[in-house]
Structure 1
Amino acid sequence: MEYQSQYLSPDIKLSCYEDKAFRTEVLFENHMLVWFISGETKIVQADSVYIFGPGDIFLIPRNQPATIINYPKDGLPHKTVVMHLSLPRLKEFYIKNKPKARLSHAQKIRNFGKHPLLESCLVSLIPYFDLQDGLPESLASLKIEEAINILRIIDSNTDSMLANFSEPGKINLTDFMERNFMFNMPMEKFGYLTGRSLTTFKRDFKKVFATSPQKWLTQKRLELAHYQIREQKRKPSEVYAEVGFENLSHFTYAFKKHFNYSPTSF
């Protein structure tokens, strides 16, 4: 897989995958505004699946686990312009601009399609990638602030996401794990998102589920894969990444060990 990433500034980049599909488990520390140039992306979250293609513009909230699968398509690479909306920058912005919407903890990906205002803002960045010395930080800041203002104009609830600076608090462990077990994150991240240290997370997990997190996660992922292959008639190659396995061979081995038959036997 050939991957190239070109930065205009620490918060603005052009990403390009030119080979095959690339999958990653993510938990973004910052909100991300993405403009799709070519290729396709599938984003799987606990209760939603999104597919984006050329021209689409969408906003990904921070601290929301997801599986992201990027594909080249129609002979073109997977290519995007990504703008990070960092917390320090947003805090500075909202000191000067009072939020217009009530803050919300229920954050979802927001799809703006091919909105002309956002598109014009993001398209205007392309010529700057040819600059040898990059984009001066003062201009980069202006472009990011322009994007934030456009988001606030076209979506009156944008502030409910961007102006929310709270960190995850201690929440119900059972509810969270049942909704998010398919995301292949480090245990530290599971702990962080449930408002616990790693030690407290493991202790509480053992108390609630009577087993270790890794054993429980593997079993839940295999059960979900079994359902999708048998009942929904999906192929193992389509399922393994979405249920939290790193590669097909590891998934096949674990599946056969757990169920005593291969996932291709249906």
Structure 2
Amino acid sequence: MGYQANYIHPDLKLSRFDGPFYKADVLFEQHLLVWFISGETRIIHGDRTYRFGTGDTLLFPRNQLVTVINYPKDGLPHQSVVMHLTKQRLTDFYTKNRVAIRPMQPPRFRTFDQHPLLKSCLASLIPYFDLNAPLPDAIASLKIEEAIAILRMIDLTIDHLLANFDEPGKISLVDFMEQNFMFNMPMDKFGYLTGRSLTTFKRDFKKTFLTTPQKWLMEKRLELAHYQIREKKRKPSEVYLEVGFENLSHFGYAFRKRYGYAPTERMAP
């Protein structure tokens, strides 16, 4: 059946996946609050990998690159309830609830494990997905404001994230690309996240790295894969998605072309 998304409101959906796995490099333009109903999720953010299962809750910050891999588990499909915390809704909320915020380092996503209040809030949405009509905005607004209030109660620093509406500023290309080269994103998205137009991004990249973004990304991904296979003794089938390849056969071809032997051969001939 593959992937399905059942929206009862533009900001509320039930996500379901029945296939062997679903992998995507994602960049959300708004914060997402996610409660996992079943299945397993692996999230790669920077140099760390996180795993989540049934009942876990997490908040994806906007404008952050992550790799998401979803798996069915224990005979059940991967399912999650997803709530969009849009800029407009948060602006309206914080206009009524003024707070003093402080600048933050680029935020990592926040996990709340199986917090009972968040679970209760998000689980209460499930009956609405059986409706044959859209959820009225008045009810959706109440549910979203409830979730925001719970987040503020259990995480006293959350305002500094949710009430910060700044767009990405110009940052170091070296630092950003070294941390995010494994993500398959359009070049204009890389430019946006580093505070540059596409033209300026390509120009600055060539000046900084003395090559094109495409060639540099391929080299970095193969270097990481080579390290994981040779030094960490991992299988190519475990590695290729994490380092930014979409297809195992394409990864094998590129690896052999770069190193002179197949990734299944643990040592060079």
Normalising to structure 1: TM-score of the pair? Answer: 0.98
| Alignment correspondent of 2:67 | 67
- In the TM superposition, residue 101 of structure 1 has moved relative to its aligned partner by 4.8
> Is 1:46 paired with 2:58?
no
- In the TM superposition, residue 19 of structure 1 has moved relative to its aligned partner by 1.6
Give me the whole-angstrom Cα distance separating, in 2, the residues matched to 1:4 and 1:177.
Answer: 32
- In the TM superposition, residue 70 of structure 1 has moved relative to its aligned partner by 0.5
Q: Share of identical aligned residues, percent?
A: 67
| Alignment correspondent of 1:242 | 242
| Alignment correspondent of 2:254 | 254
- Provide Cα deviations, 1:18-54, integer angstroms capped at 9, x if missing partner: 1210100100001000000000010001132111100
Query: Partner letter of residue 4 of structure 2?
Result: Q
| Alignment correspondent of 1:135 | 135
Q: What's the Cα RMSD here?
A: 1.0
- In the TM superposition, residue 100 of structure 1 has moved relative to its aligned partner by 5.6
Give me the whole-angstrom Cα distance separating, in 2, the residues matched to 1:154 and 1:224.
Answer: 38
| Alignment correspondent of 2:18 | 18
Give me the whole-angstrom Cα distance separating, in 2, the residues matched to 1:102 and 1:217.
Answer: 34
Contact 1:225 1:243 in 2 (8 A): yes
Contact 1:39 1:72 in 2 (8 A): yes
- Provide Cα deviations, 1:122-166, integer angstroms capped at 9, x if missing partner: 111011111111211110011001100100001001111111101
SS in 1 for 2:258: helix
Contact 1:103 1:159 in 2 (8 A): no
Give me the whole-angstrom Cα distance separating, in 2, the residues matched to 1:50 and 1:160.
Answer: 23
Unaligned regions of 5+ residues in structure 2, if any? none
| Alignment correspondent of 1:28 | 28
- Provide Cα deviations, 1:159-197, integer angstroms capped at 9, x if missing partner: 111111011111111111111111111111110011001
Contact 2:101 2:164 in 1 (8 A): no
Query: Partner letter of residue 150 of structure 1?
Result: I
- Provide Cα deviations, 1:206-259, integer angstroms capped at 9, x if missing partner: 001110000000000000000001100111011111111111111111101111
| Alignment correspondent of 2:113 | 113
Give me the whole-angstrom Cα distance separating, in 2, the residues matched to 1:222 and 1:111.
Answer: 31
| Alignment correspondent of 2:80 | 80
Query: Partner letter of residue 83 of structure 1?
Result: M
How many residue pairs are counted as aligned between the two chains?
A: 266
Unaligned regions of 5+ residues in structure 1, if any? none
